[in-house]
């Protein structure tokens, strides 16, 4: 997605939010779009922060009044709209675009509102503040990525305050959270290790890039890869790449440029590193000389897998990681805790140049490549 596409996406979401809350006007839309000229990249991220609703800074009670009525509310006997706070460790990462779409779609179906808060660079301190602020604001539920054990404390405090908490994308099953919606990260690492064994000859050397070593959203994958490679003779070097997508692009491009084809393969355990290594292999003329692969289906990763620059990518269905927590929290509240959230594994799907075709040749909200309803040709 280009900078202007990202800004247009943010504008559409804000206008949609305005219309839902009765605040839309032609002058407001024109002012926003005029401001876009020449500054797409700078303002897109700021606008995306506001896409949860135009009432992001309002109290929870104000937000409930502004949220639309829904058939679901009548069906479940819910008289006021619920508000849920989604806490992310990477608020502006392109990986979470379909997650936000899933949140939006579930909220539209159920007549709920949401906030998209947390950290831009895996700061546990910022995530803790966001969880505590959500509790103070009186939200009806919290969904958070559990990237570090220290987040168990604010999650426990939220539960004691009567705010239900589910996790998505990354989990700590020893915490007091109610349920986890996401991929089995250790198992997905083992699946990646199996692909590497298939692609890389015995005794070869490979690099695995990891954005934030030690954090629970990616560390189990690296462990799984190491387990799967035992006895293979393949020598694995892990390399930190950075907490943000821009850091990953710079660090990985420089590393591959320095080492070129001294390694038989380059692999990544997160969306940003996979996208960056695929781009670097292409731009540095290493296609066909080295093997590559990783996680998640950003548009660049899909394109470069489709043309065999890299050989695989593992999907974890980020759309469902937004949609299903909203559904679970809604039912938990509406049923007065009789319908309890349950763990949901969003799966491990290893895609190659042939099975990626439906993703690479279409755009949709489910893949985060479009905002329109349905699936269209790319």
pLDDT band at 29 (very low <50, low <70, confident <90, very high): very low
Do 133 and 176 lie in one domain? The reply is yes
Average pLDDT on 207-219 reads 97
The number of folded domains in the chain is: 3
Residue 60: the pLDDT is 52
Question: Inter-axis angle of helices 245-259 and 271-283, to 10 degrees?
Answer: 40
Residue 10: the pLDDT is 47
Question: What does the block give as tokens for 307?
Answer: 């043309």
Question: What does the block give as tokens for 185?
Answer: 């990260």
Do 12 and 77 lie in one domain? The reply is no
CATH of the domain at 100: 3.40.50.2300
- In whole angstroms, how far apart are CA 199 and each of 1, 292, 312? 30, 9, 10
Q: Does residue 376 belong to any structural domain of this protein?
A: no
To the nearest whole number, what is the mean pLDDT of the chain? 87
The DSSP line for 143-184 is: EE---SGGGHHHHHHHHHTT--EEEESS--TTSS-S-EEE--
In sequence order, which ranges of 179-307 are alpha helices (DSSP H)?
185-199, 219-229, 245-259, 271-283, 299-306
Q: What are phi and psi for residue 239, nearest 5 degrees?
A: -135, 120
At 337-365, the pLDDT tens digits run 999 999 999 999 999 999 999 999 999 99
Pairing relation of β-strands 362-364 and 180-182?
A: unpaired
At 34-77, the pLDDT tens digits run 333 333 333 333 334 444 443 343 445 554 544 556 788 889 99
Q: Does residue 368 belong to any structural domain of this protein?
A: no
Q: Does residue 364 belong to any structural domain of this protein?
A: no
Q: Does residue 47 belong to any structural domain of this protein?
A: yes
52/114 Cα distance (integer angstroms): 5
267/313 Cα distance (integer angstroms): 10
Is the pLDDT reported for residue 213 higher than 60? yes
At 245-277, the pLDDT tens digits run 899 999 999 999 999 889 999 999 999 999 999
Do 144 and 76 lie in one domain? The reply is yes
Do 70 and 177 lie in one domain? The reply is yes
**For the purposes of burial, counting CB atoms within 10 Å of the CB of 105, is it exposed (0-12), middle (13-18) or buried (19 or more)?**
middle
Q: What are phi and psi for residue 253, nearest 5 degrees?
A: -60, -40
Pairing relation of β-strands 349-351 and 312-315?
A: antiparallel
Residue 172: the pLDDT is 97
Q: What is the DSSP letter of 244?
A: S
Q: If you count DSSP H runs as helices and E runs as strands, how many of each does the chain have, helices first? A: 15, 14
Residue 62: the pLDDT is 52
19/22 Cα distance (integer angstroms): 5
Q: Does residue 356 belong to any structural domain of this protein?
A: no
At 132-189, the pLDDT tens digits run 999 999 999 999 999 999 999 999 999 999 999 999 999 999 999 999 999 999 999 9
Do 190 and 205 lie in one domain? The reply is yes
Q: How far is CA 265 from the centre of its chain?
A: 25
Do 311 and 321 lie in one domain? The reply is no
Pairing relation of β-strands 141-144 and 83-88?
A: parallel
Do 5 and 28 lie in one domain? The reply is yes
Do 233 and 336 lie in one domain? The reply is no
Please choose, from the candidates 230, 225, 157, the residue with its C-alpha nearest in 3D space to the C-alpha of residue 192: 225
Range of the domain at 14: 1-54
Q: Does residue 190 belong to any structural domain of this protein?
A: yes
Do 164 and 87 lie in one domain? The reply is yes
Do 71 and 49 lie in one domain? The reply is no
Phi-psi region of 49 (alpha: psi -120 to 50; beta: other; left: phi over 0): alpha
Is the pLDDT reported for residue 225 higher than 70? yes
Do 178 and 288 lie in one domain? The reply is no
Length in residues, the chain: 378
Q: Does residue 358 belong to any structural domain of this protein?
A: no
């Amino acid at each position: 997605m280009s900078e202007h596409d990202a800004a247009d996406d943010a504008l559409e979401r804000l206008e949609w939010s305005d219309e839902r809350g009765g605040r839309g006007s032609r002058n407001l839309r024109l002012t926003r779009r005029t401001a876009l000229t020449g500054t797409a990249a700078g303002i897109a991220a700021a606008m995306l922060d506001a896409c949860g609703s135009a009432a992001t800074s309002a109290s929870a009670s104000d937000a409930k009044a502004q949220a639309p009525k829904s058939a679901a509310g009548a069906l479940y006997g819910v008289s006021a709209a619920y508000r849920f706070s989604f806490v992310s460790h990477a608020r502006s990462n392109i990986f979470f675009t379909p997650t936000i779409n899933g949140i939006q779609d579930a909220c539209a179906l159920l007549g709920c509102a949401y906030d998209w808060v947390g950290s831009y660079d895996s700061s546990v301190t910022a995530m803790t503040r966001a969880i505590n602020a959500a509790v103070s604001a009186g939200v009806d539920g919290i969904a958070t990525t559990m990237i570090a054990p220290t987040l168990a404390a604010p999650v426990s405090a939220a539960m004691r305050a009567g705010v239900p908490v589910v996790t998505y994308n990354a989990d700590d099953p020893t915490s007091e959270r109610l349920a986890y919606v996401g991929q089995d990260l250790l198992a997905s690492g083992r699946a990646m290790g199996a692909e590497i064994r298939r692609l890389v000859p015995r005794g070869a050397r490979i690099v695995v890039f990891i954005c934030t070593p030690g954090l629970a959203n990616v560390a189990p994958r690296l462990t799984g890869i190491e387990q799967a490679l035992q006895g293979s003779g393949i020598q694995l070097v892990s390399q930190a790449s950075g907490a943000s997508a821009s850091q990953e692009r710079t660090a990985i491009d420089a590393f591959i440029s320095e080492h070129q084809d001294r390694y038989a393969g380059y692999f990544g355990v997160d969306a940003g590193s996979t996208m960056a290594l695929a781009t670097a292999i292409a731009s540095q003329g290493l296609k066909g000389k080295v093997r590559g692969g990783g996680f998640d289906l950003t548009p660049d990763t899909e394109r470069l897998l489709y043309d065999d620059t890299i050989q695989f990518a593992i999907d974890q269905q980020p759309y469902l990681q937004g949609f299903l927590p909203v559904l679970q929290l809604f039912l938990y509240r509406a049923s007065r805790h009789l319908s309890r959230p349950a763990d949901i594994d969003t799966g491990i799907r290893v895609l190659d140049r042939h099975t990626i075709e439906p993703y690479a040749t279409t755009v949709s909200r489910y893949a985060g490549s479009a905002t329109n309803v349905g699936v269209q040709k790319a």
